[in-house]
Amino acid sequence: MTEIPPMPAAGNVAAPVPRAPGRPRWAVVGERLLEWIIRLCGISAILFVLGIFYFVFAKAAPILLDKEFSLTEFLFSTKWYPTSEINVRYGTLALTVGTLAVTLLAMLIAVPFGLGAAIFVSEFCGPRLKETLKIVIELLAAIPSVVWGFIGLSVMKTVIEKTTGAPVGVNVLNGGIILALMSVPIIVSISEDALKAVPDSYREAGIALGATRWQLVYKVLLPAAKTGLLAAVLLGVGRAIGETMAVLMATGHAVNVPTSVLDPVRTLTATIAAELGEAPEGSNHYRVLFLIGVLLFTITFVINLAADLVIRGIRRK
């Protein structure tokens, strides 16, 4: 057996598969292989989503067949007594409301703040400040959520108790602010990308017509970048809904439908994180926690779908 030396144009005469002249076989096979690997990477996202959904749903499914369990109660009751000896209740409404309240407050703070920051970074500040700000914002995104929770539990708690006179400083307000700070970096960087993607010719058109900087922003750039900006906001919402550790620490962890921002609440995610370790595997409590996972899944899915439809609607216009 001798190795076939790399041949010029004519190639290996006995080659069973036709191939480009002058290209060694390993290159052809390697390319095919690489193509398949890449294809697999692309498809894997679908497999993972389906796999995770199946796994979570399979763990939760038996509870749906249990005679004592009522789906209506699960969705619309505020009574969450999963470990009660005499009156077990699995109502998640308070938790859902808690999640939505904290997310809503977070977005009310983070969206104007994040968009404002993005507009400043993209359109108003000099190149050096821009670089610095971008690095700092990325750094902000890299802070682990447990550190945010820690800040909520210590610093923010004291500040809120002192300034508002609330009896407990860990509440919707605290969680909302912490979540807002956590989603701002995402909103800023995605919105900044969206603004950067607006063709410079639009800016020149506006400037040459005599638009002021601010007119340029709200008459030209915001309309031109609106799909990207919406995507940024929705990613922020997704971040806020899915966040667990920080809200677990900052919201007070009390099952409660809030009537003001100073009420402590508990979120869906925090409930799963806090209780899963103590629920015996295979028990109803354990299964209900997985069902909460399915509920979370559904909420984020609906939000993403709505966003997708809105974006398509905007594009069609």
Partner 1 sequence: MSAPVKYSIQTRDLNLWYGDFQALKNVTVDIRHGLITSLIGPSGCGKTTLLRCFNRVNERYGYVTTKGEIRLLGKNIYDPDVSLIELRRAVGMVFQRPNPLPISVYENVVFGLRIHTPRRQLGRGVLDAAVEKALTEVGLWTDLKDRLKQRATELQLEQQQKLCIARLLPLKPDIILMDEPCSALDVEGTRAIEELMFELKGRYTIVIVTHNMAQARRASDECIFMLLGELIERRRTEDLFLNPGDSRTAEYIEGRYG
Judged by the rule CB under 8 A, the positions of this chain that interact with partner 1 are: 126-127, 199, 201-212, 215, 219-220, 223-224
Q: Residues for the chain: how many in total?
A: 317
Question: Smallest gap, in angstroms, from Cβ of residue 218 to partner 1?
Answer: 11
Q: What is the DSSP letter of 90?
A: E
Supply the minimum distance, in Å, between the C-beta of residue 304 and partner 1.
25
Nearest distance in Å: CB 216, partner 1: 9
CB of 176 or CB of 206, closer to partner 1: 206
Residue placing its CB nearer to partner 1 in the complex, 46 or 208: 208
CB atoms near residue 158 (< 10 Å): 11
Closer of 215 and 260 to partner 1 (Cβ): 215
Between CA 101 and CA 119 the distance in angstroms is: 27
Q: How far is CA 237 from CA 180, 181, 217, 247, in A?
A: 10, 12, 24, 14
Q: Of 113 and 120, which has the nearer Cβ to partner 1?
A: 120
Q: Considering the complex, what minimum distance in angstroms separates the CB of residue 310 from partner 1?
A: 18
Q: Which residue has the tokens 């369990």?
A: 69
For partner 1, the closer CB: 162 or 213:
213
Alpha helices (runs of H) in the chain, residue ranges in sequence order: 25-65, 71-76, 93-119, 127-141, 145-151, 157-164, 172-196, 200-208, 213-215, 222-224, 226-242, 245-250, 268-275, 284-316
CB of 223 to partner 1, least distance (A): 6
